[in-house]
Each structure stands twice: as C-alpha cells, then as structure tokens.
Amino acid sequence: MRSKNDHEIKFTGDAELYLALKVLADEDDRSLSDYLRHVLRRHVRDAVLAMSYAKSSPNLGRVMAETGLNQAEFGAEIDPQDTHQAA
C-alpha cells in the first residue's frame, strides 16, 4: 500500500537540469513533480536491491526499516514494464 505524499523535499538545480527534467516529464506524460517522484522511487528501489544483493551493506536494514517495506513489497511498487504507472 502506498502512503500519501506528505513530506516535502526541496533541492536547487540549474536551468539546464530543470529544462531537461521538464522535457523528460513531458515525454513521459507526467507533471514534473510526478516525474521526479517516479525517478527517485525507482532509484531508491534499485539501490535497495543492489544493497540486498551485496548482503554486506550495513545500511540495508536501516533503509528497509525506515521505508517500512520489505524487499519484495518495494520492488513490487513499480512495474518496470509500465512506464506510465504513477509513482
């Protein structure tokens, strides 16, 4: 089950990065905010999976505890075949 988006994340980037992300979001038929959420969620999923494959990462347990998800649940939240699934 997905939780609501109730934590704000801010960062600053240059105009070139902003424009590139905006174009990519438009190409993926998403708002910029939805696209960033999608990209970050996929990145975190991939990082968690990489840590689990290494099995020696001291951070894996902390990441899993803080997200409240186990490895199978986190990976299942994003279908890699569905590029238009909301993140």
Q: 64-79, pLDDT tens digit by residue?
A: 677 666 555 555 444 4
Residue 68 domain-assigned (yes or no): yes
Q: 28-63, pLDDT tens digit by residue?
A: 999 999 999 999 999 988 888 777 766 666 676 676
Q: 9-35, pLDDT tens digit by residue?
A: 998 999 999 999 999 999 999 999 999
Residue 58 domain-assigned (yes or no): yes
Count of the separate structural domains present in the chain: 1
Range of the domain at 65: 33-79
Nearest-angstrom CA–CA distance, 63 and 2? 17
Residue 70 domain-assigned (yes or no): yes
Residue 17 domain-assigned (yes or no): no
Listing DSSP states for 47-75 in one string gives: HHHHHHHH---TTHHHHHHHHT--HHHHH
Residue 4 domain-assigned (yes or no): no
